Amino acid sequence: MRLKERVCLITGGAAGIGKATAEIFSREGAKVVLADVNEEAGRIVVRQLAPESRFDCVDVRDRKSVQSWVDEVANRYGRVDVLVNNAGILRDSLLVKMKDGELIKQMSEEDFDLVVAVNLRGVFNCTQAIVPHMVRQGCGVILNATSIVGMDGNLGQTNYIATKAGVIGMTKAWARELGRYNIRVNAVAPGFTATEILSSMPEKIIKAMEDRTPLGRLGHPGEIANAYLFLASDEASFITGAVLRVDGGMVVGT
């Protein structure tokens, strides 16, 4: 019961790592509040959690919607203890693809902007909305989802990498700004993890991911969620501004 009675908000909580985090937080005594754009999946998840948990359909790109959500949760529960900025998307493509000196394909502006809007501005929106509540109560924990590719780079992920590197930078800036208010800010950088996103990938790609991981397998969502649990708990009370890699020892190559 490491999170007993704590109000924990998790974005992107309808599937994958967000869902696993919600389940573990709930088992550890938290009052879990999920946000996701997938209302059907989100409501299924919340029915499996503790009775005081809830789901709200929220698009993290929409600042007004985010602010209303955070304020309503704070008013309902009387406090907000933990924010897990987990919502994120992929729109992978090479920067440019050339053949015989001719440009045949490139990452679209639309895909770049969409990934930035969800993965980077969404983290900014949710954090800026929740911090005043945490300042007034004198404590809080903010946990941001980054990725090992935000640290090491990877092929075909310019937009995604830009957002995840940006999240690392914001994490460090906020840790400096908010420490005086007893608010801790950390990030978790998963390696290749067996979530729904990977289910559509060819088997040879999955095998390549496993081969590039020293532990010889993909991570499980629960293993990433356990990192969030540790950083959210009092066991991590002197940790802020950190980026915790949970990647099976992997270093991304070219």
CA 6 – CA 151 distance, rounded (Å): 31
Put residue 16 in one of left, alpha, beta given phi > 0 → left and psi -120 to 50 → alpha.
left
**Does 203 fall in a domain?**
yes
Asked whether residue 180 is domain-assigned, the answer is yes
Residue 1 lies in a domain: no
Q: Which residue is catalytic, options 77, 160, 181, 228?
A: 160
Cα distance between residue 56 and residue 77, in whole Å = 14
Is the residue at 198 inside a domain? yes
pTM for the whole thing?
0.93
Number of compact structural domains in the chain: 1
- What confidence score (pLDDT) does residue 254 get? 37
Residues 6+ apart with CB under 8 A from 34: 10, 13, 14, 18, 22, 42, 45, 46, 53, 54, 55, 56
Considering the domain boundaries, does residue 182 fall inside one? Answer: yes
Calculate Rg over the CA atoms of the chain: 18
Could you read off the pLDDT of 169-182 as tens digits, one per residue? Answer: 999 999 999 999 99
CATH of residue 242's domain is 3.40.50.720
55 in Cβ contact with 43 (< 8 Å): yes
The answer to whether residue 79 sits within a structural domain is: yes
Domain of residue 163: give its range: 7-246
Is residue 254, in this structure, part of any structural domain at all?
A: no
The number of CA neighbours under 13 Å toward the Cβ of 124 is 15
Handedness of CA 55, 59, 61, 67 (dihedral sign): negative
| Active-site residue flag, 160 | yes
- Collect the ranges in the chain with pLDDT lower than 50: 254
Q: Does an H or E element contain 64, and which?
A: helix 63-77
Q: Is residue 253 part of a domain?
A: no
User: What pLDDT, on a 0 to 100 scale, did the predictor assign at position 204?
Assistant: 81
